[in-house]
Amino acid sequence: MRTQIVIVGGGPAGLMLSHLLHRQGVASLVLERRSRDYVQGRIRAGVLEQVTTDLLRSIGADARMEREGLRHAGFCLALDDENFRIDMHGLTGGKQVMVYGQTEVTRDLIDAFSDRPDDLVFEAEDVTLHGITGNSPSVSYSKNGVRHEVRCDYIAGCDGFHGVCRSSIPDHAGQSFERTYPFGWLGILADVAPCHEELIYSNHARGFALASMRSPTRSRYYVQVAMDEKLEDWPDARLWDELATRLGPETASHIVTGPAIEKSIAGLKSFVFEPMRYGTLFLAGDAAHIVPPTGAKGLNLAMSDVKILAGAIAARYADGTERELDRYSERALARIWKAERFSWWFTSLTHRFPDMAAFDRKMQVAELSYLRGSLAAQTVMAENYVGLPIEV
DSSP secondary structure string for all residues of 109-177: HHHTTTT-GGGEESS-EEEEEE-TTSSS-EEEEEETTEEEEEE-SEEEE-S-TTSHHHHTS-GGG-EEE
| Pairing outcome for strands 260-274 and 175-190 | antiparallel
Reply yes or no: is the peptide bond before residue 275 cis, omega within 30 of 0.
yes
β 5-8/28-31 pair status = parallel
Whether 12 sits among the annotated catalytic residues: the reply is no
The active-site residue out of 72, 204, 307, 351 is: 72
Q: Which residues pair with 289 in a beta bridge?
A: 272
Q: N- to C-terminal Cα distance for the chain?
A: 36
Q: Indicate if 385 belongs to the active site.
A: yes
Q: How far is CA 214 from CA 2, 103, 123, in A?
A: 40, 10, 28
Q: Which of 22, 297, 307, 351 is catalytic?
A: 297
201 classed as catalytic: yes
Calpha distance 18→14 (Å, rounded): 6
* Residue 146 burial (C-beta neighbours within 10 Å; 0-12, 13-18, 19+): exposed
Q: Which of 293, 307, 328, 351 is catalytic?
A: 293
Active-site residue, selected from the candidate residues 201, 221, 278, 328: 201
Give Cβ neighbours of residue 66 (< 8 Å, ≥ 6 apart). Answer: none
Whole-angstrom distance, CA of residue 156 vs CA of residue 168: 12
* Alpha-carbon torsion, ordered 204, 209, 212, 218, to 10 deg: -120
User: Which of the residues are catalytic?
Assistant: 72, 201, 293, 297, 385
